[in-house]
Chain A
C-alpha cells in the first residue's frame, strides 16, 4: 500500500494471541477457555454455522465486547488497541456523510488532518472513484460494502478484523474485490469471517472452523500457495470440498 510518509508504516504486522477467552451473555456461554494464535502477517478465515459466536469473537478481539475472562494480546508485546481496524457485516456508512467523508471519518474523529488524496486513491482501488461525493443512500448494496472496505483500509492499521465483508456482493463483483483485497491486505494480519468456503480458500493462509455450544475451534487447516488463488485451482476445489464436509459435520452436532 502506498502510504504517504505522514502515516507511520509497519515492517511486520503483529500476531494476535488469544488465551483462555471466555464470553457469556447472561446465562448463555458463547465460548469458554478459547485459546488460539494468529501469526503476524497471516490471513486467517474463520468459518462456522450462523449464531455460533464468530462475530462475538471478532468484537471481543476488537475490544468492543469485554470478555468474562481471558487475555488478548499482540505477539510483539505492544498494546493491540489502536492497531485494529474492524469492518462489520453491515456497511455502517453514515447516511449524512458523503462517501469520501465516510472514508475519512476516523481521521476526522481523531482530530487528524484528513488525507483526501489517499481516501480518493482507496476509493479508486475499490472502483468508487466516480461516487466519492455521493451520499450512501444513492449507492447499491455492493457499492456501499466497497465504500466500507475503503474506509477500513483508510484506517491503515496492521490488524484487520473483517466480518463477512463481501457477503452482500454479486458473484462477479465479489470475485474481483477478493482479488483486489488480497493485494491490498498484504502485510496485514487479517481475521476474516466468511460463510463462503470458496472465499476462505481463495484468500487465506489458514482456515479455522468454529462449532458447538459453547463454541470451540477445530484444528487449523493450512492452505499452501500464494493468494489470491485461482477459483479453478484443483487443490483449492479439493480443500473447499473438505471444508464443506467439516462444516456440515459441525452443524449436525
Chain B
C-alpha cells in the first residue's frame, strides 16, 4: 500500500535528496574538505548563480543537439524498421550494418566524423555522433514491436481482407507502440549521453555545450562550476526521461496491459 500513495512517491525520494545534501554540506564543512576536491552544495549553488548565463547557454546548446539527434533517431529508427518489416531482403541486407554501427564505440568514430564534416562544423559532428548512439535502440525495438503483433490478429486481418498498408498502420504499428515508446525512453537518454561524449571527443566549435564547460572547469580547477554543469546534465536527463514517461502514459493508458487499471 505504501508504494501506491502518490504523495509518498514524491516525498520519500525528495527527503532522501535533501538529507544527502545536508549531510554533504555538514561533512564538507566539518572536515574542511578543499573546494577543488569536493565543494559544498552551497558553493555549487553560488558557482551556478555566478555563471548562470553561460551555463544556461551551454545547456541550450546541449539540449538542441540532444533533441535533434533524438528526433532523427526516432524518425530514422522507426522508418527503417518499417522498411525491414515490409521487405525481409532489405532487413537481411542492412541489419548487420546497423549492428556494426551500434557496437563500434562512438568515441572511436568521432575523429573520423569530425574530419568528414570539417572542423568548422563541429556541431554537425556532434549531431551525427549523438544520432549514432541513439539510433539503434529505436531500430531494434521498433523491429521487434512490428514483429510482435499477435499472429491470430494478423490472421483476422487477412480474413477480413485488410490491405498491406492497413495491416501496417492499424495492426503492426499500434502493436509496436509500447516497444517504440520503450525504445524512445532508452534512446532519449542515449542521445544526451551521445551529445556529451561527442563533445568531449570532438569539441564543439564556436558554440559551447555543457560537456565543454565541464572540461573547461576541470582545467581551471573550478570544481564547483563543474558540479553545477553536472547537475544541469542530470536534470536534463531526468527531464527527458519524465517527458517520455509521460508521453508513454498518455499514449498507452487507455488500452495497453501495462497501463490499464483493472476492474477485476
Contacts and interface: CB of A to CB of B under 8 A. Distances in A.
A85 B31 CA distance: 79
Interface stretch (A86-94, A214-222, A231-239, A242-250): A86-94
B158 interface: yes
Contacts of B30: none
A214 B251 CA distance: 47
Given A109-B161, A109-B166, A95 B156 contact: no
Nearest to A112: B161
Contact of A88 (B156, B157, B255): B156
A84 B255 contact: no
Contact of A138 (B163, B171, B263): B263
B161 A94 contact: no
Contacts of A88: 152, 155-156
A82 B161 contact: yes
Nearest to A110: B161
Which of B160, B166, B257 has the most A CB atoms < 10 Å from its CB?
Answer: B160
A12 interface: no
Nearest to A64: B155
Interface string A70-92: 00000000000010111010101
A109 B152 CA distance: 16
Given A109-B166, A135-B255, A137-B255, A92 B150 contact: yes
Interface string B162-204: 1100100011001000000000000000000000000000000
B257 to A, nearest CB: 8
Nearest to B254: A135
A59 interface: yes
Contact of A110 (B160, B170, B254): B160
A94 B160 contact: no
B112 interface: no
A185 interface: no
Interface residues of B, number: 23
A96 B254 contact: yes
A105 B156 CA distance: 10
B11 interface: no
Q: Secondary structure at chain A's binding surface: helix, strand, loop or mixed?
A: loop
Interface residues of A, number: 24
A135 to B, nearest CB: 6
Contacts of B256: 95
Contacts of B260: 135, 137-138
B254 A105 contact: no
Contacts of A109: 157, 160-163, 166, 170
A196 B264 CA distance: 27
Interface string B130-159: 000000000000000000001011011111
Nearest to A95: B255
Contacts of A135: 254-255, 260
Given A95-B255, A96-B255, A140-B264, A84 B159 contact: yes
Interface of B: 150, 152-153, 155-163, 166, 170-171, 174, 254-257, 260, 263-264
Name the 5 nearest CB pairs between A and B, nearest first: A95-B255, A106-B160, A109-B162, A137-B260, A96-B255
8 contacts: A59-B155, A63-B159, A64-B158, A88-B152, A90-B152, A95-B255, A109-B161, A110-B161
